[in-house]
């Protein structure tokens, strides 16, 4: 069960990274290019996961952090995509990148009394709003 969960935890974000974040910037990629992109994304996500696991010695904190990554990187763009008609793709990208980066810095770099997950979530919301305002989608 642990191996199945671990493989899903690596494959899901790798596919999201390759298919939704990188592929739109490629011009008509062929199957060989996409396969290489998927493989590279899996290696990158596995490497980043390994780094996080090395810093955390407790499996319970790892499970909490994995849920927290969803909060700081995916919740705001998902809700904006469902409920905010003006939300832009650049706002979503900034929300994911800045929310995750903020969480990572607060979790492993800065020691704050305020939870790192909430810092990431708030920065993700601000980035979504500012990214949409500064870079609206062209209709």
Residue 5, pLDDT score: 73
Supply the pTM of this predicted model: 0.73
87-110 tens-digit pLDDT: 998 999 899 999 999 998 988 888
130 confidence band (pLDDT: 50, 70, 90): very high
Residue 71, pLDDT score: 87
70-90 tens-digit pLDDT: 889 889 999 999 999 899 989
Interacting residues of 66 by C-beta distance below 8 A, sequence separation 6+: 9
Q: Is 22 helix (H, G, I), strand (E, B) or coil?
A: helix
Helices in the chain by DSSP H: which ranges? 2-15, 31-55, 59-70, 76-83, 89-108, 116-134
Quick one: average pLDDT of 117-121?
93
Task: Assess whether pLDDT exceeds 70 at residue 3.
Answer: no
Q: How far apart are CA 108 and CA 18, in angstroms?
A: 26
Residue 7, pLDDT score: 80
Instruction: Classify residue 138 by its DSSP letter.
Output: P
17-66 tens-digit pLDDT: 888 778 888 889 999 999 999 999 999 989 988 887 887 777 777 777 77
Highest mean pLDDT among 3-12, 99-108, 120-129: 120-129
């Amino acid at each position: 069960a642990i191996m199945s969960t671990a493989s899903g935890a690596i494959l899901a974000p790798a596919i999201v990274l390759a298919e939704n974040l990188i592929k739109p910037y490629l011009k008509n990629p062929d199957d060989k290019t996409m396969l290489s992109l998927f493989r590279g994304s899996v290696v990158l996500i596995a490497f980043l996961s390994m780094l996080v696991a090395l810093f955390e010695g407790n499996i319970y904190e790892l499970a909490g952090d994995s849920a927290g990554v969803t909060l700081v990187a995916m919740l705001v763009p998902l809700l904006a995509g469902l409920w905010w008609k003006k939300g832009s793709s650049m706002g979503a990208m900034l929300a994911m990148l800045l929310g995750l980066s903020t969480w990572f810095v607060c979790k492993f770099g800065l020691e704050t009394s305020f939870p790192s997950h909430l810092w990431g979530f708030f920065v993700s919301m601000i980035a979504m709003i500012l990214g949409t305002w500064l870079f609206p989608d062209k209709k």
